A = this chain, B = another copy of it.
Amino acid sequence: MMDSDRIWTAGLVIIGDEILSGRTQDRNISQIALWLNLQGIRLGEVRVVGDTVPAIVEAVNSLRAHHDYLFTTGGIGPTHDDITVDAIAEALGVPVVVHPRARAMLESYYRSRGGITDARLRMARVPEGAELIENRMSGAPGIRFGNIFIMAGVPNITAMMLDALSGTLEGGRPMLSETVGCWVAESEVADMLGATEKAHPGCQIGSYPFFRDGRVGANFVIRSTDRAALDACRADLAARLSAAGRDPVQGGI
């Protein structure tokens, strides 16, 4: 395998009772997945766990053993239910310390907002040896420990932290994708999809059916890291659909 073909993967642990209770609709999985892909890294697995130390420790240790990178979201605020830093420090076997620069950032941020408090200082706590991830939005930084990235639960803040990390992580070739839509029941073209995928090594075709305006349709998403292979596969699928009397819709429906 050439080094440029190496596939880099990341695991993601979403931490929060609010996701498991159904109260909050998660937005971080897709946000982080799309961002990772731009860095040439694939999201390999996600776990959603509640706000308990054992659950976080187990998920973190399991995923970091299997992936190049590990991301977490949630549980890094100032309140009693924010236990992510403690849990990750336990998973890593290091103590929790106050990071001097995080403390300075929080003191500066809160100078005009009522001053620093013990609760606010909780957000300066990190696993010993960690670096900070800048967050232009709220003053409270994210945390980097080697290949582990500890991010906020609020999607807008997570976005700021991802922005600060953009271009700094080693990755491979981004996964490219093209979509061909068709007003057809996927079951009518299932054999065609399988045959097309087989004819184009290095491409995967996913089939995503939908019901809209009382009609059945599907989007066929072709993925590859090779632009030429991707384009050839897309053209072939469109040609096969046309030959079968179906109207392929470039870009999807």
Residue positions of A touching B, CB distance < 8 A:
14, 17-27, 29-34, 36-37, 42-51, 55, 77-81, 110, 113-114, 117-120, 122-123, 137-138, 154, 156, 175, 177, 185-188, 190-191, 193-194, 197, 204-211, 221, 223
A197 contacts across to B, CB distance below 8 A: 80
B51 in contact with A206 (CB, 8 Å) = yes
Additional pairs, 7, CB under 8 Å, beyond known A22-B37, A26-B26: A22-B34, A45-B50, A79-B193, A81-B206, A117-B187, A120-B190, A122-B190
Known pairs A26-B30, A185-B113; A18 contacts B80 (CB<8 A): no
Chain B: minimal CB distance from A82 (Å) = 8
B29 in contact with A43 (CB, 8 Å) = no
B207 in contact with A177 (CB, 8 Å) = no
Known pairs A30-B26, A48-B45, A50-B44; A119 contacts B191 (CB<8 A): yes
A223 in contact with B29 (CB, 8 Å) = no
Known pairs A47-B46, A197-B80; A24 contacts B208 (CB<8 A): yes
Known pairs A47-B47, A51-B206, A81-B207; A21 contacts B194 (CB<8 A): no
The contact of A221 among B18, B30, B43, by CB within 8 Å, is B18
CB<8 Å pairs between A and B, sample of 15: A21-B175, A21-B177, A22-B31, A22-B32, A22-B33, A45-B50, A45-B55, A79-B187, A79-B190, A79-B193, A119-B187, A119-B188, A120-B187, A154-B209, A154-B211
A206 in contact with B17 (CB, 8 Å) = yes
Number of copies of this protein chain within its complex:
2
A31 contacts across to B, CB distance below 8 A: 22
A45 contacts across to B, CB distance below 8 A: 20, 47-50, 55
B49 in contact with A20 (CB, 8 Å) = no
A20 contacts across to B, CB distance below 8 A: 33, 42-46
Give bound CA distance, A30 to B27, whole Å: 11
Give bound CA distance, A176 to B134, whole Å: 37
A79 contacts across to B, CB distance below 8 A: 186-187, 190, 193-194, 207
A190 contacts across to B, CB distance below 8 A: 78-80, 117, 119-120, 122
